[in-house]
């Protein structure tokens, strides 16, 4: 049996999706900490950002699972999830001014130093680059 090199993109995308899931779940568990520092901070903003992060992660996990089940549409789903994560990372949803005078911004999704989103994008791109070419039947 030869080693399948076409699934390396799915493995990398799966790793990025799992890291993003860990970021989202740990963010939800730590969201009450923000309320402790500033009681005027709305807690629903934290839940929105972390919920979107978990949804993007689930989307990437779904794409990786599809690739493992020999459906190449999963690479497209991985790419879309990575791009949506990058767009969400730069989309502000709430600005607040603290009592010390600086402005804080909450974004639509969270990331772990962009490592997880880059892994999802690289996994999707590698999947397309290493995909098996099917011959047309004439």
Q: Cα–Cα distance between 133 and 120 in angstroms, integer?
A: 22
What pLDDT is attached to residue 70? 87
Give the distance from CA 41 to its chain's centroid.
25
The answer on pLDDT for 112 being more than 90 is: yes
Q: How confident is the model at residue 1 (pLDDT cuts 50, 70, 90)?
A: very low
Of 42, 43, 41, whose CA–CA distance to 31 is shortest? 43
Q: What percent of the chain has pLDDT over 90?
A: 62
The answer to whether residue 21 scores a pLDDT higher than 80 is yes
- What one-character DSSP code corresponds to residue 4? P
Average pLDDT for 118-122: 96
CA angle 119, 83, 7 (to 5 degrees): 40
């Amino acid at each position: 049996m030869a080693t399948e090199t076409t699934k390396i993109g799915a493995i990398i995308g799966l790793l990025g999706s799992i890291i993003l899931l860990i970021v989202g779940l740990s963010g939800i568990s730590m969201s009450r900490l923000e309320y402790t520092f500033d009681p005027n901070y709305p807690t629903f903003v934290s839940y929105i950002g972390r919920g979107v992060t978990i949804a993007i992660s689930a989307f990437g996990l779904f794409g990786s699972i599809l690739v493992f089940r020999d459906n190449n549409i999963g690479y497209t789903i991985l790419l879309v999830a990575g791009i949506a994560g990058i767009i969400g990372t730069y989309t502000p949803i709430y600005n607040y001014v603290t009592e010390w005078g600086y402005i804080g911004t909450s974004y639509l999704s969270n990331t772990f130093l962009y490592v997880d989103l880059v892994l999802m994008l690289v996994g999707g791109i590698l999947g397309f680059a290493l995909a098996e070419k099917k011959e047309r039947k004439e």
